[in-house]
Chain A
Amino acid sequence: MWPRFFRLHKSPTQGNFPEKALRFLLERGFTYKAVETYLARKSNGQKSYQEVAASGILTELRQAYRRERPVIYTTAFVPTELVYGLGAVPFLPEVWSGFAASLGVAPRAIHISESLGYSQDLCSFHRCGLGLFGMGILPNPSAVIVSSHLCDGGRRSLYYHSRVAGCPLYVLDVPYSFDREARVFLARQIEHVAQDLVRKVPGLSLDHMRRAIEASNGARRVYLDVCRVRRNVPSPWRGSEALNYVSVFLSSWGSGWLPEFYGELLRYLERTVRTCAFPVGNERHRLLWLNLRPYYRTPIFDFLEKQFSTSIAFEEYSKLYWPEIDPDNWAEGLAEKMMSNFGWGPLERRIHAVWSMVEDYSIDGVVQFNQWGCRQSNGGARPLRDFLQKRGIPFLELDGDGVDAGNSGSAQAITRLSAFLEMLDSRGVIA
């Protein structure tokens, strides 16, 4: 019954010229050569870390679309070291929803997901991913790996991708408790998934695992230095850009280029501090941003950074939360990484993680972007608000939508942010 259902609903827009043309270009080697040539030109104003990220992502896109390496779809909290370690390219549809929003493609993709029968109530990062898949412009997956923790919508929407593509779907069942028994339980699943994938998907092998884990550990060590430099007052990195690079943080651990990316970023940030070339002049306030951001064109970050001289000093999804992974015991290490996510388990874990960021980054106020349909974050807002307010840190819940611009008004967002900043200003007057 399932295959028939999915045949009926497969790619409702296939045949539309723009999508076919885009797909054609994405599958051609000359497209990537042309973009690489463009990026290599020094005159394009890219910073070195931006060039490393662009080159790394571009190479993986080429490998994915030209089927040079198998593609494995995952949700945001599946450790990508597992995918790189198998020799595949990880692909997170929700990350590409953010890209689609920034390119203005998201509204069409969202409409298509609705025509596939998905409710407007589902998080737009997933709706857009479903729509992009329906448009036929995402690479074909060889497998899908999802996890049971944090994001329920992602797990369920990627079920559709696996059924339409006719590829295996693996669900990693992450225990709620945090002990050795739970870690071993999850590690066995990870091992089973890896071994089963090697059997079922041609081109995959565990030979890449050590290299992927070592790359992840190497990137992690440099990233800790990046975080140390970001504690500087004033903030050395524009928060609106840092929020864009959350996509790299979510989807690139285990890649060969990530240590270099963070190394270049570290050098850039150190230079910024050394030369006092801070992106937000006369920094008045420092905010911690929780959850994702709107990825379509919005005036709210210019408003914060230029009009109100306020930095987003750090972001929740940039917090490194796992220990180094032992390459000789990688499955347990990856299990520990998944279980260490502070958004999982008792709410107190997230609250304490938020508080540590408030202290580490000298935060004046916390803004939680309440992504439409995102229960994992929005559901815990009240206890977090109470905790922070008891400690004198104002908390703003900014309702909005990171992908669907039609579901969010920038004027309303600016009014709320203005009032929040005026509140912080008045505290400064009292102090």
Chain B
Amino acid sequence: MTVAVGVDSGSTTTKVVVLVNGKVACTTSAVTGPDPAKTASLCIDKALSECGHTFREISCLVATGYGRERVSGATRILTEITCHARGAHAMVPAARTIIDIGGQDSKVIRLDERGFVQDFIMNDKCAAGTGRFLEVMAARLQVGLDEFGEEWGRARGSVKISSTCTVFAESEIISLISAGVKRPEVIKGLCNAIAGRVASMARRVGIEPAVVFTGGVSLNEGVRRALEDALSQKIVVPPMSQFMGAYGAALFAQDLVE
């Protein structure tokens, strides 16, 4: 029996995927908080106990994400770019472009037919184009992130959010609401703003189908639809899309075991 563990210690969320004999046995996640090492350990323990295993039974552990250096017990450390590529290609073998939008960064990765990274681009300077941007705006609009898709569908038009700074974009939204613009139109404008920024990054590395969308924001229906419009491409959101980095890390761990 082999127990391969992948840990993605992200800036916002820590994700763990456990493979037992090469098959996904369990996934778990938690808010990373101020102590990434402790959160990673707790997440690993929780995931293992859920699938009836213990830390001692781990055959191999690979860590990724911004906190990767702080994950104890890691056999190998890899960047989230390599791990996302591995996970997405395993899940969608036709994947050639990966768009990953996490809590505090976004990245676009171009793959070859073997799943190897050909090129990538990251944005972690500007909040526009991240999950955090959406969280701040959702709080301001008093709407849940899971309602974005529904609100998008209700919108009759869209407004242009021109600010790329979260603070100024928030002010812009307040102005729009004060001017009587309806919430669905504002939400569609927000999703378009993120999609527009990420689409520019994607064009920089070159877009080839199939385009796979991963990271926490991939679960946001509004952003997915906005991205499809911006790229004029169908976007594939695979199962476990928010766990793709940890899944890729677990697959690398499985390789090391084998």
Partner-B contacts on A (CB < 8 A): 382, 389, 394, 399, 409, 411-412, 415-416, 418-419, 422-423, 426-427, 430
- Given the complex, which residues of A lie within 8 Å of B122, measured CB to CB? 412, 415-416
Known: A411-B66, A430-B114. A419 touches B124 (CB 8 A): no
Nearest CB of A to B86, in Å: 10
- Given the complex, which residues of B lie within 8 Å of A430, measured CB to CB? 114, 116
Is A389 a contact of B124 with CB atoms below 8 Å?
no
Residue in contact with B79 in the complex, picked from A382, A399, A422, A427, CB distance below 8 Å: A422
Is B119 a contact of A422 with CB atoms below 8 Å?
no
Is B82 a contact of A422 with CB atoms below 8 Å?
yes
Cα A158 to Cα B114 in complex, Å, equals 52
- Given the complex, which residues of A lie within 8 Å of B125, measured CB to CB? 399, 412
The yes or no answer to B81 lying at the interface (CB within 8 A) is yes
Contact with A along B21-52 (1 / 0, CB 8 A): 00000000000000000000000000000000
Cα A415 to Cα B124 in complex, Å, equals 11
Is A422 a contact of B66 with CB atoms below 8 Å?
no
Is B79 a contact of A419 with CB atoms below 8 Å?
yes
Interface of B is mostly: mixed
Is A422 a contact of B117 with CB atoms below 8 Å?
yes
Cα A191 to Cα B204 in complex, Å, equals 46
Is A394 a contact of B81 with CB atoms below 8 Å?
no
Nearest CB of B to A336, in Å: 37
The yes or no answer to B148 lying at the interface (CB within 8 A) is no
A395: nearest chain-B partner, CB-CB: B119
The yes or no answer to B78 lying at the interface (CB within 8 A) is yes
A423: nearest chain-B partner, CB-CB: B117
Is A418 a contact of B116 with CB atoms below 8 Å?
no
Cα A309 to Cα B3 in complex, Å, equals 31
Is B79 a contact of A418 with CB atoms below 8 Å?
yes
The 3 A-B pairs with the shortest beta carbon distances in the complex, nearest first, are A419-B81, A419-B79, A422-B82
A407: nearest chain-B partner, CB-CB: B125
- Given the complex, which residues of B lie within 8 Å of A415, measured CB to CB? 66, 79-81, 122
Is A389 a contact of B117 with CB atoms below 8 Å?
no
- Interface CB pairs A-B, < 8 A, 7: A409-B124, A412-B122, A412-B125, A415-B79, A419-B79, A419-B120, A423-B116
- Given the complex, which residues of A lie within 8 Å of B82, measured CB to CB? 419, 422-423, 426
The total of chain B residues at the interface (CB under 8 A) is: 16
- Given the complex, which residues of B lie within 8 Å of A419, measured CB to CB? 79-82, 117, 120
- Given the complex, which residues of A lie within 8 Å of B81, measured CB to CB? 415, 419, 422
Nearest CB of A to B112, in Å: 9
- Given the complex, which residues of B lie within 8 Å of A426, measured CB to CB? 82, 116-117
Cα A422 to Cα B62 in complex, Å, equals 14
- Given the complex, which residues of A lie within 8 Å of B118, measured CB to CB? 389, 423
Is B116 a contact of A427 with CB atoms below 8 Å?
yes
Nearest CB of A to B109, in Å: 9
B11: nearest chain-A partner, CB-CB: A411
- Given the complex, which residues of A lie within 8 Å of B204, measured CB to CB? 382
- Given the complex, which residues of A lie within 8 Å of B120, measured CB to CB? 419, 423
Cα A419 to Cα B86 in complex, Å, equals 13
A412: nearest chain-B partner, CB-CB: B124
A420: nearest chain-B partner, CB-CB: B120
Cα A430 to Cα B120 in complex, Å, equals 19
- Given the complex, which residues of B lie within 8 Å of A399, measured CB to CB? 125
Cα A427 to Cα B124 in complex, Å, equals 26
B84: nearest chain-A partner, CB-CB: A419
Contact with A along B101-124 (1 / 0, CB 8 A): 000000000000010111110101
- Given the complex, which residues of B lie within 8 Å of A418, measured CB to CB? 78-79
Cα A427 to Cα B79 in complex, Å, equals 16
Is A422 a contact of B114 with CB atoms below 8 Å?
no
Known: A418-B79, A419-B82, A422-B81. A389 touches B116 (CB 8 A): no
Nearest CB of B to A14, in Å: 36
Cα A353 to Cα B58 in complex, Å, equals 51
Choose among A389, A409, A415, A430 the residue with the greatest number of B CB atoms under 10 Å from its CB: A415
Contact with A along B204-245 (1 / 0, CB 8 A): 100000000000000000000000000000000000000000
Cα A197 to Cα B30 in complex, Å, equals 69
Q: Which of B65-81 contact A (CB under 8 A)?
A: 66, 78-81
Nearest CB of B to A411, in Å: 7
Cα A389 to Cα B79 in complex, Å, equals 22
A415-B66, A423-B82 given; name 19 further pairs at CB < 8 Å.
A382-B204, A389-B119, A409-B124, A411-B66, A412-B122, A415-B79, A415-B80, A415-B81, A416-B122, A418-B78, A419-B80, A419-B117, A422-B79, A422-B81, A422-B82, A422-B117, A423-B117, A423-B118, A430-B116
